[in-house]
Amino acid sequence: MNEEYDVIVLGTGLTECILSGIMSVKGKKVLHMDRNSYYGAESASITPLEDLYKRFSMPGSPPESMGKGRDWNVDLIPKFLMANGQLVRMLLITQVTRYLDFKVIEGSFVYKKGSIYKVPSTETEALGSSLMGIFEKRRFRKLLVFIANFDENDPKTMEGVDPKQSTMRDVYKKFDLGQDVIDFTGHALALYRTDDYLDLPCLETINRIKLYSDSLARYGKSPYLYPLYGLGELPQGFARLSAIYGGTYMLNKPIEEIVVENGKVVGVKSEGEVARCKQLICDPSYVMDRVTKVGQVIRVICIMSHPIKNTSDANSCQIIIPQNQVNRQHDIYVCMISYAHNVAAQGKYVAIISTTVETNDPEKEIKPALELLEPVEQKFVSVSDQFGPVDLGVESQIFVSRTYDATTHFETTCDDIKDIYKRMTGTDFDFAEMERKKNDIFGDAAE
């Protein structure tokens, strides 16, 4: 261990593994350690099922009806990949896709007045949807056409909307849209968790809806992808990338001290030895004195033997419960996957409910989502604190990632990665720099 590294990374969560991969590809000498014996940290998929029971301190072991424990890979953090999003782009240019197999999530649904409806996001789907009345449909269709044609470099496409000045509220008013349509446009298409976006310039919202539509257009069914064997495959894929470029990996390493001299990190002590480094990347759990609590997320893993009602028996789906519909400030999400993704025993389904905690009784907050899933065979409830770094790390050269939030995709995780990259290097992250070979996510990248 008595070696000098450019970068030491602590924790093998997805954020850390992607940064480790990026730094290795850029020619940095990287040492990556984790106190756990498995990859993924908070973004791990737990296998076998017995380990999930242990992790949640459930009495006894899984009943026989749960099948073989090894057939389970249960995610701790529920998320999907946007087909046209930043993570897929990163997977493609680095060719990490060759270690992974993806499936398209079968449907995206939105909750309205106690029932769930398929999210319409194309003109044809919108016209066939029972979510809206006939006049509302026409107005919504006009909004979708406007957004599809909107080009921020071409004022002719803007119909008088100023992308930097007009708010999204103005845009909804322009198309005369009602509250229900506004709810699902903002929350099920633009994927905002709160209503704060309404009074901000509309460009960000327009781009988010474009991301949703472009992702949906890519593979049909839904804009989301999911890797077979669970999300834990993602950090492992990037760890392999880092290793190919010379990165060193060590699991099961207790971290005794982060050695700081004159306010700047110089190394990490593990099992009595100090590995020296110029920069350090880690998740909040390794530096609790350098992070601050930014909120709490409740996640409820539900095991079921049936698909969710009114989803056309989809073996995977997402359900968004917009905050307005249940008198909250934050949306509630449900991500469901199943045996079809090699994450559960034959015939079993895993739905994970998540939302930002708003009260002292978070389990009560997620009841509307739980009601959609009943009967549930086994529940695993967690309420976790979310942390963010107290400073930018420029002085200490200690760069701390943010805890995974309640969003159901990886766009905010990728923003955090790009942000840390910029603070570490002083330059913007450029996807092209990572380019190995372009390919389709379902293409044969291995030749």
Residues in touch with ligand NAG (CB under 6 A): 115-116, 309-310, 372
| CB closer to ligand NAG out of 131 and 191 | 131
Minimum CB distance to ligand NAG, residue 112 (Å): 9
DSSP H or E run through 380: strand 378-389
Cα separation, 409 vs 415, whole angstroms: 12
- Nearest residue to 23 via CA among 363, 425, 293: 425
- What tokens appear for 249 in the block? 């990996």
| CB closer to ligand NAG out of 29 and 118 | 118
- What is the number of H-type helices and E-type strands within the chain? 12, 19
The Cα angle at residue 198 between residues 175 and 170, in degrees rounded to 5? 35
In single-letter form, the type of residue at position 266 comes to V
Minimum CB distance to ligand NAG, residue 372 (Å): 6
Minimum CB distance to ligand NAG, residue 309 (Å): 5
Instruction: Please answer whether residues 17 and 242 qualify as being in contact, where contact means their C-beta atoms are separated by less than 8 angstroms.
Output: yes
| CB closer to ligand NAG out of 293 and 309 | 309
| CB closer to ligand NAG out of 133 and 155 | 133
DSSP code, position 100: -
Cα separation, 342 vs 126, whole angstroms: 33
Minimum CB distance to ligand NAG, residue 206 (Å): 30
| CB closer to ligand NAG out of 157 and 315 | 315
Q: Is 156 exposed, middle or buried (0-12, 13-18, 19+ CB in 10 A)?
A: exposed
Contacts of 155 (CB under 8 A, 6+ apart): none
- Nearest residue to 278 via CA among 363, 183, 393: 393
By residue count, the chain amounts to: 447
Minimum CB distance to ligand NAG, residue 113 (Å): 9
| CB closer to ligand NAG out of 44 and 370 | 370
DSSP H or E run through 317: strand 317-321
- What tokens appear for 386 in the block? 């979310």
Minimum CB distance to ligand NAG, residue 118 (Å): 11
Cα separation, 31 vs 2, whole angstroms: 12
Minimum CB distance to ligand NAG, residue 186 (Å): 21
Minimum CB distance to ligand NAG, residue 369 (Å): 11
Measured from each CB, the residue nearest to ligand NAG is: 115
| CB closer to ligand NAG out of 115 and 329 | 115
Q: CA torsion, points 14, 19, 20, 24, in degrees to nearest 10?
A: 140
Percent of the chain as helix, strand, coil, to the nearest 5: 35, 25, 40
Minimum CB distance to ligand NAG, residue 141 (Å): 24
| CB closer to ligand NAG out of 54 and 367 | 367
| CB closer to ligand NAG out of 295 and 368 | 368
